[in-house]
A and B are shown apart, each in its own frame.
Chain A
Amino acid sequence: MKLFKTKLDAATIVLIPACIGINYLGKLFASFLKLPLWLDSIGTCIGGCLGGPVIGAVCGAANNLIYGFTAGDNITLIYALTSLGIGLAAGIMARLGFMKTFPKALITACVAGFVAVLISTPLNVVFWGGTTGNVWGDAVFAATQAANMPVWLGSFLDEVVVDVPDKLITLLVVFFILKGLPKKLTALYEVNAEIESLD
């Protein structure tokens, strides 16, 4: 099985806007329920798990670019790289079979979380001087700065505190949703599917 093999037919093209919509809904619900997390990468992870790493990466990057250029939320533009990484990580892990059982899904969540942290930390340091805009994370950052720790370490911890729990919950939601999808839908995205004829 090829890791990066991607089908680019109408089904996958339609999947991408749906996933971007799901990202938006996740963020909306998180603010509606006043949860202290972002939860804005559910769609990206679904895209990665169904369509593969390439579709996941496209979902993630397109998500941030579209909102940045049209909905006025241009801070997200900078984080297009992070989203791309999350989608790629989720897609690769799913192709390797790490979305099949619950404990394996937890490992995927940790991998996606750390990819997000690794990409976001330099961006945070460059653009925001290290803060993330999340209350809990910034409290950690302020504490590390008061203790005279280097900026990048503070920013790294800031991200870990926010991103890893965020991705854990995201991937759990994704896991339960994928389990509940009908076979006739998931069959559309099987890369190794073969068409058999009766005669």
Chain B
Amino acid sequence: MKSISLYVDNHTWLTKVHPFTKLTYIAAAIAIPLIAGKLWLFGCCILVSLCALASGKVLKRAIPLIAFSFTILLTIFLIHGLFHQGNANVLFSIGPLRFYREGVLYACRIGLNILNMLLSFAILVLSTRPSELVEELEKKGFSRRFGYIINSVFQIIPQMMGTMSTITDAQRSRGMETEGSLLTRAKAFLPLISPVVMSSLINTRERAVALEVRGFGSKSKKTYLADRPAHKGDRAITVCLLLMIAAAIVWRVGTWLLSR
């Protein structure tokens, strides 16, 4: 069964770093350039993320994540380069299309922001097992019910995908068309999705009974199976990142006060 998580344990240092440290890094990488408001800071954060991904040997697997949003970035450049409201100075033109400086600059800002977010999240996503993240959150007092919800999603989806391919095959063998014009494809949607949805909803009843029997609603304190060895440097990195966010805020407020 194929999991939807992108995590692969490749035994690099990045997989051993505590999930909370990675979460702090995401917060810092997104917040610092936005607070400081400088374009080059986006570049710095992107560079740091790329270095971390490369040293964790997951850079290659981060490419599909970025390629996914590439079309959106392209439309942003086209639409704002051509039609942005404040457009005044022509930057360059391709045939009859004129790209304006203001629009391209605006699109750059949005594009870099998105790229920065994608890469910093890629560090967490590609190097952290979801159940590990959930368990660490639970140890810090995160609701156990929500922990179950998150873990259970990762079990349910591969099951549903299995059911889905069975049902697609079954409906096709009965002569249902899944290719062709838009109308044909739209008509195929309901007979494909409703059996999967029905069966998974009906399964919830059995799941609920099974959980209750195993003491899911019990109020007593629970213990954890895995004990996580602390990675050295977790605390130092977290403190550094938080200090950098604080520095960005101080710098922004300081320049704002000076300019008044």
Binding site for B on A (CB under 8 A): 8-11, 13-18, 20-22, 24-26, 28-30, 32-36, 39, 42-43, 46, 62, 66, 68-75, 77, 127-131, 133, 138, 141-142, 145-146, 148, 150-151, 173, 176-177, 180-182, 184-185, 188
Contacts and interface: CB of A to CB of B under 8 A. Distances in A.
Interface stretch (B88-96, B203-211, B248-256): B203-211
Contact of B6 (A21, A36, A43, A71): A71
Contacts of B130: 69-70
Contacts of A29: 164, 189, 192-193
Interface string B212-233: 1000110000000000000000
Interface of B: 4-7, 65, 68-69, 71-72, 75-76, 78-80, 82-85, 106-107, 110, 113-114, 117-118, 121-122, 124-126, 130, 133, 145-146, 148-150, 152-154, 156-157, 160-161, 164, 178, 182, 185-186, 188-190, 192-194, 196-198, 200-205, 207-209, 211-212, 216-217
Q: Is the interface of A mostly helix, strand, loop or mixed?
A: helix
Contact of A33 (B7, B188, B203, B212): B188
B213 to A, nearest CB: 10
Contacts of B208: 9-11, 13-14, 188
Contact of B164 (A25, A39, A46): A25
A179 to B, nearest CB: 10
Contact of B212 (A10, A72, A77, A181): A10
Contacts of B65: 72
A66 B146 CA distance: 11
Given A25-B160, A127-B114, A16 B149 contact: yes
Contacts of A185: 201-202, 204-205
A33 B5 contact: no
Given A10-B217, A21-B157, 19 more contacts: A10-B208, A11-B205, A14-B204, A17-B156, A22-B201, A25-B164, A33-B186, A35-B186, A66-B153, A69-B125, A70-B7, A71-B6, A128-B72, A129-B106, A131-B76, A138-B75, A138-B79, A142-B82, A180-B194
5 contacts: A11-B204, A29-B164, A70-B130, A72-B65, A74-B117
A118 B159 CA distance: 35
Nearest to B188: A33
A10 B208 CA distance: 5
B149 to A, nearest CB: 5
B30 to A, nearest CB: 10
A173 B122 contact: no
